[in-house]
Structure 1
Amino acid sequence: MQDYFEKEKDNMLHLLERIVNIDSGSYQKAGVDKVGDILINEFAQLGFIADVHEIPDKGNNIVLKHEEATNPSILLIGHIDTVFPAGTVAKRPFTVEGDFAKGPGVFDMKASHVMTLYALKYLISQNNDAYKNVLIIINTDEEIGSISSRELIVATAKKVQYVFIMEPADLAGNVVTGRKGGGKFFVKIYGKSAHAGVAPEKGASAIQELALKIVALHELTKKEGIHVNVGLVSGGQSVNTIAPFAEAGIDLRFETQEQGEFAQAKILEICSFTETPNTRIEISGGITRPAWKTDERQNELLSFMRDAASEWNIDLGSTYSGGGSDGNFTGNMGIPTIDGLGPRGGNAHQDDEFMVISSLNERGQLLVKVLDKINKRN
């Protein structure tokens, strides 16, 4: 198996270059769909049939199932959208430097799709029918909370016994067995403009009111298991004008559902009134991903994977993450879920994002072994 992945290395990198060199930010529908079409065609050559779920304003979500499959018990989930704006590929396209591949989305998480494809190719080449036991969801809006794909993920996950999230692994190769829940809120504050020097008393500062809200919102972080961050702010008309408008984006993280519900209620309460006269406030958003905590069935699946990894003398570590993924949905549902099965690398969402090329082989073999062992057990 190791020889197979080594032999296919150049082909994997060629495909990876093709899909990395397409701008596919979450709101760039044409680019996201182009990446999806390439993967649909690649999987079709293996006998996988695509069920395309059309989305008008974002990339189309895709479910792949082999034409010979009857009742798959494993769901693999991965996204093809990135966080990068249009034009990023032109500035820093796919490159290879030694054992590192670089480019927008190469690590998070386009390399995972290439690795998954070639793992299934290997199973087919060996007449190992574990490939028939797999469903695949290609998600197109994970980076903005899986808004359009959550319903599809939940409905599909109900049909399987196990879920593997093909998000990338960290440099140590740890898999993820739990994640914080999260939410996004957006606040708009309306005030009244006035000349800051001539008649400031006629104005009502939206920026002043927003500043008060930011202090109160950040105070929630003192509560156990809760973190609130006002990460985006804007407003005002000019430096010598009382600000008639201000807005902010709020990020919420929590370790348990109870903490999340408490924090959401407090955020809505804080933003339900204003303290600055003649201002008004609007808030939208809410919890986007539930908290995912490890349970007994989860630990059983992890133990099973560690047994598979030990056959290559790999000590498979696990970690808990503050970041969210589609694993939050399936893990919270109680379906045994393991996240972070993709290749190793680092610096996701940054200009120096990278993927360790040799880990395509290492992690590809692990995926093959796990799919094979589950198939035989079932």
Structure 2
Amino acid sequence: MKDLLYAKRLEMLQLVERLVNIDSGSHTKKGIDEIGSILKMKFESLDFIVDTVEQQNYGNQLVIQHRDAHQPHILVVAHMDTVFPEGTAQKRPFKVKGNRAYGPGVADMKSSLVELFYAILCLKQTGQTGYKHIQIILNSDEEIGSPSSASLISEKAANKKFALILEPARTDGSLVTARRGCGQFKVDIAGVAAHSGIEPEKGRSAIEELAHKIIALHRLNDQQKGISVNVGMIDGGSAVNTIASHAAAFVDVRISEKRQDAIILKQLKKICAETHIPGTKTTLSGKMDRSPMEKNEKTNVLLGTIRQAGKEIGIEITDTATGGGSDASITSDLGIATVDGLGPIGGNAHSEEEYLEIPSLTERTLLLATVIQKLSKMT
């Protein structure tokens, strides 16, 4: 398989370039659907059936499996959306500099989409049959928490034994076997407006009340337990000489264990129930969007298979935990053996300096093909 893939290195990179130069931010439905159409044709050329799950507000989702597949027990998940606004691809299109390729979404995760297609192509052209045991979901909204695709992933994950998530590998090549759960909340404070010079005694400052709550929220941070609470944005007031009648804080919460979900929610409610400035009122909204992906025995078994595959092709497989969220949390929460970070190696995701390590494109494609073939025999 290695010789076949290395012969297709330029072809693979050209497809990465084509996909990178299409804007596909989570709210750019036209671009996501264009990428979906390209990939649909690619997979259909390999005798795969591609079902398009139409979406009104987001890009369409794709569910893909070979026409000869029967109850496939391997789920592969990748996303077609990026974090970048429309027009980004034109401003800074795909480019190559040395052994790195740059462009919006080049690592997260346009190159993973290419890796997936060529891994299957490689299996087919070398007479392997592992591709008959996989089902693929290409979703369109992972970067904003998978609001329209989470239920689809959960549905298709039913009765699956393994889940392979194609987020990029870490910069050192490590796979991801644990992720923190994440959620976003909003704290709204209603106060009473008054002129701060003429009759300040009549006012009830929403900003002052919010200040007390921000301090309390940040005291919830516990690095040892893997809990992070961050007030990342605030809003409030109408004029510098007016006591604020409204203020709001936007809060990012990260947890490392599922049991921490209820604990942190209880603490958030307690903070918001306590009033420091009489006459103000606090409202808490939001939720935990993703459960943590916890490393467990099932993870270790799957990781062991991946390590064996890596050993056979000359790659030492390491793994790590990360604070960011992904669709891996969905399958992991369902009790399915899940490993993430199986895409090519890249770095600086979500920034103007996002890059792909070009040699890793073929290397990780070979790894993915080898892993699929091995897992296909583990029924």
Q: Residues 303 and 85 (structure 1 numbering): CA distance in 2 closer, same or farther, change over 3 Å?
A: same
Greater CA drift, 134-143 or 29-38: 29-38
Contact 1:226 1:260 survives alignment (8 Å) = no
| Superimposed CA distance per residue, residues 22-62 of structure 1 (whole angstroms, 9 cap, x where no aligned partner) | 22222222222222222222222222222222222122222
Structure 1 counterpart of 2:205: 205
Task: Identify the residue that residue 55 of structure 1 maps to in structure 2.
Answer: 55
1:371 aligns with 2:372: yes
Q: C-alpha displacement at 1:349, in angstroms? A: 1.2
Hey, what's the Cα distance between the residues in 1 that align with 2:200 and 2:80? 50
Determine the C-alpha separation between the residues in 2 that align with 1:78 and 1:359. 17
Q: Is the 8 A contact 2:79 2:138 kept in 1?
A: yes
- Alpha-carbon RMSD across the aligned residues, in angstroms, is 1.8
Aligned to 2:289: 288
Once residues 286 and 227 of structure 2 are traced to their aligned partners in structure 1, the CA distance between those partners, rounded to angstroms, is 17
Per the TM alignment, residue 292 of structure 1 is displaced from its structure 2 partner at its CA by: 2.0
> Which residue is equivalent to 1:95?
95
Q: Secondary structure at the match of 1:315?
A: coil
Is residue 163–residue 339 contact of structure 2 (8 Å, CA) maintained in 1? yes
Separation in structure 2 between the aligned mates of residue 103 and residue 44 of structure 1, nearest angstrom? 27
SS in 1 for 2:101: strand
> What's the CA shift for 1:283?
2.1
Deviates more, 1:276-285 or 1:260-269: 276-285
Determine the structure 1 residue equivalent to 2:300.
299
What is the SS of the residue equivalent to 1:33?
helix
Q: CA 1:265/1:345 → structure 2, altered by over 3 Å: closer, same or farther?
A: same
Deviations 1:191-228 (A, max 9, x none): 33333333333333222222221111111114833111
Residue 320 of structure 1, CA deviation: 1.4
Aligned residues: 378
In the alignment, the residues of structure 1 paired with residue 54 and residue 279 of structure 2 have an alpha-carbon distance, to the nearest angstrom, of 45
**Secondary structure of 1:215's partner?**
helix
1:267-301 alpha-carbon deviations (Å, 9 max, x no partner): 12222354323332222211111122222222111
Percent identity, please: 46
- The aligned amino acid for 2:324 is G
Residue 188 of structure 2 aligns to a residue whose secondary structure is strand
Matching of residue 84 in structure 1 with residue 84 in structure 2: yes
Are the structure 2 counterparts of residues 17 and 241 from structure 1 closer, same or farther at C-alpha, using a change threshold of 3 Å? farther
Q: Judging changes above 3 Å, is the alpha-carbon distance between structure 1 residues 266 and 113 closer, same or farther for their aligned structure 2 residues?
A: same
The match for 1:243 is 244
Q: 1:180-259 to 2 correspondence within 5 Å? A: 180-222=180-222, 224-259=225-260
Partner of 1:121: 121
CA distance in structure 1 between the partners assigned to 2:235 and 2:87 by the alignment: 24
For 2:275 and 2:147, the matched residues in 1 are separated by 30
Q: CA deviation at 1:377?
A: 4.1
Q: TM-score, normalised by structure 2?
A: 0.94
Most deviating of 267-276 and 317-326 = 267-276
Which residue in the other structure is 1:313 paired with?
314
Where does residue 45 of structure 1 map in the other structure? 45
Structure 2: gaps spanning 5 or more residues: none
Structure 1 unaligned residues grouped into runs of 5+: none
Shifted more, 85-94 versus 213-222: the winner is 85-94
Please say if residues 253 and 260 of structure 1, whose CA atoms lie closer than 8 Å, have aligned partners that are also in contact: no
Counterpart residue number, 1:349 = 350
- Deviation string 1:161-192 (CA, Å, 9 cap, x unpaired) is 11100110012211111111121112222333
Structure 1: distance between partners of 2:256 and 2:194: 44
- Which residue of the partner structure matches residue 174 of structure 1? 174
Partner of 1:25: 25
- Secondary structure (helix, strand or coil) at the match of 1:271 reads helix
CA contact (8 A) 2:171 2:346 kept: yes
Whether the aligned pair in 2 keeps the contact of 1:233 and 1:247 (CA below 8 Å) is yes
User: For the residues of structure 1 that align with 2:276 and 2:104, how far apart are their CA atoms?
Assistant: 44
8 Å contact kept, 1:139–1:149: yes
